[in-house]
Structure formats: C-alpha cells, structure tokens
C-alpha cells in the first residue's frame, strides 16, 4: 500500500533537513575557526602550533622545529635539554598574554622519570604574526627549579647577543661558555688568561638574530637567566632559567621564558621584533653630551692614568679649543 505524505509532513521533513544542514555548516565553521585562529593540531606526542612551529615530545626533551611556508627548516631546538622526562601527551591550554591568544599547548613534565610533575611547558602562537612564546613554569614552589633550551646554529649567520672581548660579526666564530647573562668586565685579571671562555662585557642584550629570518629574545626578568653561544664549538645557542623557591605557594612562577619570531630575512624579523619588544625612547638626550662632552682618559691611558696625564690631556683640550664640560668645585 502506497502512502502519500501530507503537505505538513513534507514541510516538517524539509525543515529537519534544513536544520541538519545548518548544524553541519555551523560545525564546519567552528572547525575552520579553530584551524584559522587557534591553529593547534594535537596528535598525542606531536603538536603543531601557529603557522610554522612544530613540537615533538621525546623521551627526555621536547624537540622544536620552525619551518618556512616552503617547507624548509629555519630553526631546530631541544627544549628541556637532557633534563626532563615527558610524562603526558600535549593538550590545549589558555594563555593569559595579550599578544598570544591564537593557540597554546600544555605539557606537564617531571625532571626525573617516575618523579612527580615539577614543570609545565607552555607554547603559544600569536594570532596575526608568526611569533611564538615559549614558557616553562614551576608547578612546585618550594624547590629550586632549573631548565635549559638549546637551538642549533646550523648554516645560518647569527648576530646580536652579549658583547665579548674578541667580538666577531657575524658572531658564529666566537664562543661563550654557559654563564649568567649579566654585564661584566671581561678585562678582569681572571678572564684574560682564558679568552676562549667568552666572558660577557658591558652590553648583554638577550637578543639573537639569524640570517634564516629567525629572532629569539628574552623579555621576562622574573627569573635568573644564563646563556651560552657556541660553547667549546658545540654549534648551539642555549638559554638556561633558574628559579628560587617561592614563599607564595599560590603562584606558578616562570622558570624560563622567551619569544621566537619568523620572517623572510634578518632585516624583516628585526623590524617586527623591535616594534614588539624593544622600548622606544620617550625623550631626547642631553644636548650638552654632544656640544660639550666630558672627556675620558680611558681611551688613551686605560688604567695607567696619572695626575700628570690628566693635566696634559686637559691642556690639549683647551689648546685646540675642543668643546668640553668641567666640574666646578664648590667653595
């Protein structure tokens, strides 16, 4: 027996079909939004964050790879170099950072196999620029925690970093052992017999650029930073963070944090990182520094300065009518 549907039944049928189509369309739209804005793909121990960054959880570290749109590798790194044990798969997490809302992975790792988780690795991608934030946070505030990330120098030319006694440009051929990332006097007696140590000088910016269009910068000063560059010819840039025990147990303190950006070349990545992370001057220098400089004996006499040297230098400044300032004694 053939039964014909009424108009009301046909209308109800097509309404259900229409609703199903709408739900499917909404589902695809949500998936597209996640792919476009979250840009986070998790496959157990592998994860892709943002446009270019990929992480792989190894047995005792996390491997980082930064690829260009054509598939070539611009940067390789080892996070938690030789000192962590991966205990969980990667999963999405939220990042409370205005520049990095596009996506995040959360990976809890203990320092030793079988130990309770002490560290949390967060890697986040920016929404609109190819920049990433890498952050290690301590889950236990009562213990001192350290972690180190290292990046291969590969075949790229590198620039920036701290000043050393035997300065090169680019800096690939110079070497600095792991040391506190602080300004120091590399002419001190204990450093002179061993110039290969690469002791840092009076400039120690934690900012490195490569000809592959990659920039790495540390802007967080809440932890103790150490660094090395091509230490004993190992071909790596390493960043080490140390965090002392916290008195406030409610905090999740940062052990190590830095930012990575990718562009087509070294000039363009420097421009974007300067805009994002380098504070701009808010005023003008004192014009007297240019018009009436204060002369220094260091350039000519170094530490062998005497009273006679100072008087001779002052006489020559006056004789040649060089601009200068002097400190007038008060009566």
Q: Give residue 61's pLDDT.
A: 80
Q: Six-digit token pair at 328?
A: 């007038």
Q: Give residue 38's pLDDT.
A: 38
Q: Which helix (H) or strand (E) holds 176?
A: strand 176-180
Q: Name which residue leads in pLDDT, 258 or 58.
A: 258
Question: 124: pLDDT confidence band, cut at 50, 70 and 90?
Answer: confident
| 230: Cβ contacts below 8 Å, ≥ 6 apart | 153, 172, 173, 174, 175, 176, 236, 237
Q: Is the pLDDT of residue 276 over 80?
A: yes
Q: Give residue 208's pLDDT.
A: 96
Question: 286: pLDDT confidence band, cut at 50, 70 and 90?
Answer: confident
pTM for the whole structure? 0.74
Q: Six-digit token pair at 60?
A: 């005792």
**Helices assigned H by DSSP within the chain:** 7-33, 266-277, 288-291, 298-301, 307-319
| Segment 221-242 mean pLDDT | 91
Q: Is the pLDDT of residue 199 over 90?
A: no
| Segment 126-152 mean pLDDT | 86
């Amino acid at each position: 027996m053939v039964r014909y549907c009424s108009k009301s039944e046909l209308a109800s049928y097509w309404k259900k079909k229409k609703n199903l189509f709408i739900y499917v369309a909404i589902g695809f739209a949500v998936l597209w939004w996640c792919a476009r804005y979250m840009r986070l793909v998790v496959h157990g121990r592998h994860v892709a964050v943002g446009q270019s960054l990929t992480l792989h959880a190894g047995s005792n570290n996390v491997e980082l790879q930064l690829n260009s749109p054509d598939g070539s590798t611009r940067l390789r790194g080892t996070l938690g170099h030789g000192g962590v044990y991966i205990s969980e798969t990667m999963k999405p997490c939220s990042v409370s950072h205005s520049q990095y809302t596009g996506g995040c992975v959360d990976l809890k790792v203990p320092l030793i196999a079988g130990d309770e988780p002490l560290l949390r690795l967060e890697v986040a991608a920016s929404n609109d620029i190819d920049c990433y934030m890498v952050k290690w946070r301590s889950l236990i505030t009562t213990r001192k925690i350290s972690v180190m990330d290292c990046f291969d120098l590969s075949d790229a030319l590198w620039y920036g970093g701290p000043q050393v006694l035997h300065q090169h440009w680019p800096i690939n051929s110079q070497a600095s052992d792991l040391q506190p990332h602080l300004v120091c006097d590399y002419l001190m007696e204990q450093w002179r017999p061993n110039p290969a140590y690469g002791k840092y000088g009076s400039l120690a910016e934690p900012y490195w650029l490569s000809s592959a269009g990659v920039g790495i910068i540390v802007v967080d000063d809440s932890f103790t930073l150490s660094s090395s560059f091509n230490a004993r010819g190992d071909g790596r840039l390493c960043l080490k963070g140390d965090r002392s025990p916290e008195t406030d147990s409610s905090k999740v303190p940062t052990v190590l944090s830095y930012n990575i950006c990718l562009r087509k070349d070294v000039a363009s990545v420097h421009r974007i990182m300067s805009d994002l992370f380098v504070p701009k001057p808010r005023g003008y220098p004192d014009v007297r520094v240019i018009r009436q400089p204060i002369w220094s004996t260091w350039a000519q006499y170094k530490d062998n300065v005497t009273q006679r040297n100072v008087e001779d230098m002052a006489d020559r400044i006056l004789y040649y009518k060089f601009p200068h300032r002097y400190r007038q004694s008060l009566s």
